[in-house]
Structures are given as structure tokens and as C-alpha cells.
Chain A
Amino acid sequence: MTPQPGMLWLGLDPADGGVDERHLEHQVLDLLVGLHIEADLVCTHVVTSQGRTCVAASARLTGRAAGPLGETALLDALRERWSGAAVLEGPADEPSVETGPRGARTGARTAVAQARDGLAGRAVRFPGQETLDGPLPVAAVPLVSAVTAVIPAVGELQPDTVLDPSGHVRPHFEEGRLVLLVRPGPAGIVIPVEKLNEHACAGH
């Protein structure tokens, strides 16, 4: 398999039965670092197929994977730790390569297509994320990052309303847009709906 021209998208399905997107987020970011894979957009996805719900991940590759190592070597590396993986090239409907058992392949394919088409996915890395490191007006967010729109989960927003990203910005894809949901925070600012520390797992 030789490297293909065009943008490459990687889909990953851990197939471990887990449903924790935050846990998966750390797994996939660690994986990319470990394999020296450069990606400018990384998402987690909730995928349901044949009655099975799981979380999967996607990444838009920007460098090395399209280089000499090639996709096959990449998949070989992934196979050891991930149950399912798929690579989509540009606008193709079918993966150029994939690996893993059928269920996990489906998860990986679904995730990668969702991200590529902007239909769904929770972005854990996206262009401009590093600029959202301190308070700024919500109207500025689409100007400095890939976030398309800032939407209030409750209440109303003015363009000069200040967003405090609090170091944790996880917008999601929806109908082709990358949307950041926000909510009221202290002193008239807004904050992302997704908090850094959710009380979701512990006994509380």
C-alpha cells in the first residue's frame, strides 16, 4: 500500500466495551504521541451499531501518516492496541484500509465518517484550540479557532459576552458546524458546558 494523495482520516474503535469519552480521549492522544502521528483534529464519538453502543475516536492526519511509513505500517502498529481501525482518504466512501473484527471496523468507519463530514464527534483537539487559553468575547472564538459557533445551552448570548474557556474546550460537530455549547458562569461570563471535572463517575 502506497501513500495516497489527499487528506487522511483515521478512525479508531477500542472495542473494550467502555463508554467513557474522557477516558478514550486520553488513550487516543497518548497513542498519537507514541506513534509520532501528527493530527490537527481529534474527536471522540458515540457509535451505536447493531444495538451496541461504544465510544470511538477519529483523527485528521497532517503529516507523517501520509509519509514514508504508510498506512499499512500505521495499521500494523494500531492493531496491537486497538480492536478496530479504518483510514478514509479525502471524500472516499470506503476506507482505503481497515483492520479489526467486523463490529469494531464498523465503529471505526462510523467515527471517521462522522468527523470527516462534520456530522458528529466531540473535538478534543482542533485548530486554534491553543488560542482559547483565556477570557475572550464569544464573537472572537470563530475568528481565532475552528469553532464555527458559540451556542448557549440555556439563556442568551451577546457578541461581547466573555467566554472563560478554563483550559478545557470540547466543541462538537453538528450539521457540518463545530459548535461550542456554553452556559452562564460567575459574574456574567459564560463557560463551556463541559467542565474539566465532572461528577459523573464517582459515588456522588
Chain B
Amino acid sequence: MSHDHPHPPATTDEPAVDAITRRRLLQGLGAVGAGLALSPTMAGSAAAAPQSNPQGPPARGDVPGRPYLYLGGDHHIHTKYSSDAIYEVGQHAAKAREFGLDWMVITDHGSVAHQKFSVTETAEDVAATRAAQPDLLVYHGLEWNIPGGEHATVFVAPGSGDVATLSEFEFRYDGALLSSRKEIARATENSSKAENLAYEGLRFLAAQRAAGAVPDALMLANHVSRRGLDSPHELRGYRDATSGDRIGIGMEGAPGHQAAGIPKAQGGIGDDRGFYGNTANPDSHPGYGPESYFTYGGFDDNVTQVGGVWDSLLAEGLPFTITTTSDAHFVHEERFRRGGTPEQRTSAYYNTTGQYLPPVEDQAPQPAGDFWPGFYGSTLVAANGRSYTAVMDGLRRARVYAVHGRLVDAVDFRVDATGSNGEKGVTVGERTVARRGSNIAVTISVTLPSQPNFHGDLPVLAHVDLIGGPVTGPASDRDSKTAPATRVIETFEVGRAPGKTVKLRYRFRNVTEPFYLRLRGSDGRQLDSSGNPLVDVFGDADPWVDLWFYSNPIFVDVT
């Protein structure tokens, strides 16, 4: 989806449709008692109704300054420079544009061969693609084997030292290279030595940024719960490894490989959505139970558990950006195979060259686990401009929505502590200050899809949940994985109204303690009785009938 217009679009003077409160799970919060952290301080009431807009076009994205551009992207894409992938950089870029993305990151796997052969060649392809696709921001990155952890996206903004930075980073800090030099036993080795190498790597990137070698650098952990390798303390460690602006800013809220659960009877590979569904291994964090190794509604268990791992990080009062990506290696129903002789299509060939020959399109459509960038998921970033550094700034500040299957065209989530009606509030990823005892207005403007998604369906946004919890400060236990007081505060029912903008409202009265708020929405087809997503079933998880979006949080400080 393309969101290169100021946001929300100036269509909100159209009559918005009815949206009614379906449930109020925290109804009568004020009576719940002081022991609950959400407590009387967050006693609230909801209203969702057609809104005229007496003040003309709404406030736009920013509080002071320019309107944000909402730019969709994907930070996890593999090419022929990965031993397990196939496509050209330029192919992905063309598809990303076709499917409405504004930015993308090339993230081939770190390995000895990749570091030795591929980094420079990728840079040349990225440069050529930037020239061929002037409307697309194409970042050069890496899928880092985090020492002691999972994979992660690492990427940089273009700069004089970008290739050297990526190359040196991979050489010094990629788990595959470290283990090849016997500095650690294996990339995922669960040891403090390995962890510290990861934090050193992030500090190296910060130093390169400070030295001007790259304008910016970011890291996001990928498919975090797939193997249980990134413990809560490691996620906090990535976040806190650097002083000043963070380098480790977040994680995939939803992994790629969203086609992997399509049933064989529907022409899919009938595996696990996201290629999750693994079991613990000796390097896994023992605190993660077996239920955490699955996706729920296509999202990672860290994120889908209300009051779970992600909320435990947010309850510390800091952002930790969640996203969605394609992790595209082989795309479902595509006709490509690797080019060259049979020998040239093997990983042995890759290991001596760092790449495969250009793919050849001569097969019948093949089932596979992945979608093209933008085809299913989009990471929507509120950016101060269409530039490499602006998108990275938006990601770092968590001005981000993760959207599947074009469930919404746009979301404008606002929290207003100024005493007005919510239109002047701060937006996602931002922070506002409320006077103790004052009231807080929440306005969620959702623009419903006006045209079919890339599966040919016009999605229906059935529900939006307002989720929140108290900010309780730094976790005393760095492996804490719960935020017990975080809960669904309000569920709004939305419904079918293509192209319309719905306003959902909620008001907190007499706030006394800091808190945060976030959103999730769904097509309502696969929910449990509490409105939570269902576990994705092995071999039977059609992603097109289980659509969700998640926002990042807004923080409310109280003085």
C-alpha cells in the first residue's frame, strides 16, 4: 500500500460510519480497586460515533511542524546473495513498488562467503536499483546472526562508509563468522560471551554513526520467538546496548513467511505460518513455554500475549518498535528457479561465490512459504520526509503500524492531554505529558480499505482493541516477560464501510499515573472469546482469512 500522502487523507469530512462499542472489558475501572495498576487513575469511557469535523482537516501527524508521510516498507528481504534464496535485488524492488511499498531493506544472511564475496556486489546492485526506482528507498543491510541469539535486520542509511561499515560489522560480529573462527562454539551459543559480542556489535554501529561513516544504523530482531533464542534480557540488552540514540530498536511483531501455513489443498506448502512451530533447543531461553513457539494470527507470541513480553518492555516506559516483514526467499506460486547448471544451483556453489546466477522463469508456479515485499504485510512508518534518515528516525521512535492484508488504509491514533477533543494529540510513537488529575482524550481515526488487497479481497475491519497498561519503570528482573496490569481497555466494533474514515473515541478521567496505550485490530474471523488471536494451525493457516494490524504505543507521562 502506498501512503505517500499526508495522513490522514483529507477525506474525513465524508460522513464516517457508525462504530459502536461492543464490549467494555474494563467497564467500571474506577471500581476495580486501587490494587490494580490501571486503577481509578485510568477510569474511562468510550464513544465511537460518526463524527463531522467542525475544524476542517484534522491535525496531521505531527504536533508542531510538518505533517508526517506514512511510508510502507519491509526490512527483511533475501536475494541471490543468500545461500537459501534466489531473486535479484531489482526484482524485489520492482515487486515492492508494484505492491505499494516506499522503502525496503536488503538483508542477506551473514556468512563467511557473504562477507567475503557479496557485500560489495550487493552494494552495486542496490545503487543500480536506486537509480532505476527513484520512488523507492532501497537500504543495504544484512541479516545478522546475532551471537547467542536469533537473526536480526541490521541496516544503514547510504553514506560514504556504508559498505565498509556493513562489511566490518559482519566480519567482527556475525555469529557465523565468529563461530567459524572458533570465538564462540556456534552462532546461537547461549553464553554471556556471545551476548556481549552482540552488544559490542551494536556499539560498533553506534560508533560508526557517531563518526559519520553512516548517517544512521538500526537493528531489529527477526522471528524472535521462532526458536526461543532471544531471551527477554537479550531484547532489553539490544535496546540498552548503546547510549544516546538506540541502534537496537525493536523486533518483527509478525515474522515473514506468511504463506507457509497455506494448506496443501489450497496449493500451499502446508507448513507452519512464519515457519514457526519449533521446539526448544539447548540454546533456547528456558523461560519460554512451548506455547510461545507459535504465531497467533500471524504475529509473534511476544506481541500477541496481552501483558506478555512486548508489554513488559513497554511498561518500562520505552518504545520497542514492532514491524511486519516478508522475509522473502522463495515466493509462493512464482515460476522462478535458480539459473545455471545443477552444480551452480547448490549451496556449495554459493559458498565459493557468494551468489547464485540470475533466476530463470520457466517453471510451473511453485508453492512456497513467502510473499513478495508488500504483497501481504506493510510496516507503515510516520516519517518527517521521504528520505533514508527520516524513515529510520520514524522506525526508531516507533511511529509505526504493522498491517497485514491491507486491513486498513490508514490509521491515525491520537492521545490528547490538552483538554481538547483529541484532535490535537500526539500520535503513535510519541509521548505526551498530562497534569495529574486531568482527563485524556483518545481518538482513533481508521480509514477502511477502499480497494481489494493483493489477494483480491476487500478486507473488513471488524474490531479495534485499545490496549494499555501502567508504566512501572525499569524492570528489576531483566528476564521479566509479563506486564500483569496491561489489558484490553476497550473493544470497538467497526464493520463494513469501504473507504470511509471511522473515528473511535475513548476518554480517561483523572489520570494520576503514567501509562501507555496501543492498538490492535482484526478482521474478526479468528478470535477467542476474549478477542485474542488464535494459534496458527500447522498446515491450515490461510493468512488471508486472519488479518490483523498492530500499532506501536503512545506514552502518557503524568506530572
Contacts and interface: CB of A to CB of B under 8 A. Distances in A.
Interface residues of A, number: 28
Nearest to A202: B84
Contacts of A204: 84, 257, 275, 327, 329, 369
| Prevailing SS type, chain A contact patch | loop
Nearest to A186: B540
User: Looking at B78, B275, B279, B327, which has the most chain A CB atoms within 10 Å of its CB?
Assistant: B279
A117 B281 CA distance: 22
B227 interface: yes
Given A17-B185, A204-B329, A195 B538 contact: yes
B329 A186 contact: no
Nearest to A195: B277
Contacts of A51: 191
A194 B289 CA distance: 14
Interface in B50-72: none
Contacts of B535: 154-155, 183-184
Contacts of B329: 203-204
B540 A183 contact: no
Given A19-B282, A54-B282, A187 B540 contact: yes
A183 B196 CA distance: 36
A53 B190 contact: yes
A160 B327 CA distance: 39
Given A153-B290, A199-B275, A203-B83, A185 B538 contact: yes
Contacts of A38: none
Contacts of B263: 186
A193 B540 contact: no
B277 A183 contact: yes
Contact of A193 (B109, B186, B279, B282): B279
B294 interface: yes
Interface string A108-143: 000000000000000000000000000000000000
A20 B369 CA distance: 25
A187 B539 CA distance: 10
B537 A21 contact: no
A54 B189 CA distance: 11
Given A19-B186, A185-B538, A53 B277 contact: no
A86 interface: no
Contacts of A155: 535
Contacts of A199: 226, 271-272, 275, 278
B486 interface: no
Interface residues of B, number: 36
A199 B255 CA distance: 13
B196 to A, nearest CB: 15
A198 B278 contact: yes
Contacts of A17: 185-186
Contacts of A187: 540
B278 A153 contact: no
Interface in A33-70: 46, 51, 53-55
A194 B279 contact: yes
A185 B283 contact: no
A128 B277 CA distance: 26
A1 interface: no
Interface in B187-224: 190-191
B538 A183 contact: yes
Contacts of B277: 183, 193, 195, 198
Contacts of B84: 202-204
A181 interface: yes
Contact of B290 (A185, A186, A193): A193
A76 B21 CA distance: 74
B231 interface: no
Contacts of B82: 203
A189 to B, nearest CB: 10
A162 interface: no
Contact of B538 (A46, A53, A191): A191
B291 interface: yes
A92 interface: no
Contacts of A194: 279
B168 to A, nearest CB: 22
A54 B185 CA distance: 11
22 contacts: A17-B186, A19-B281, A20-B281, A53-B190, A53-B283, A153-B289, A153-B291, A153-B293, A154-B294, A186-B263, A186-B538, A193-B277, A193-B279, A193-B293, A194-B279, A198-B278, A198-B279, A199-B272, A203-B78, A203-B82, A203-B329, A204-B329
Given A154-B290, A202-B84, 16 more contacts: A19-B186, A19-B282, A21-B281, A53-B190, A153-B290, A181-B290, A185-B540, A186-B540, A195-B277, A198-B277, A199-B271, A200-B227, A203-B83, A203-B329, A204-B275, A204-B329
The 4 A-B pairs of least Cβ separation, nearest first, read A203-B84, A186-B540, A153-B290, A19-B282
Interface of B: 78, 82-85, 109, 185-186, 190-191, 226-227, 257, 263, 271-272, 275, 277-279, 281-283, 289-291, 293-294, 327, 329, 369, 535, 537-540
Interface of A: 17, 19-21, 46, 51, 53-55, 153-155, 181, 183-187, 191, 193-195, 198-200, 202-204
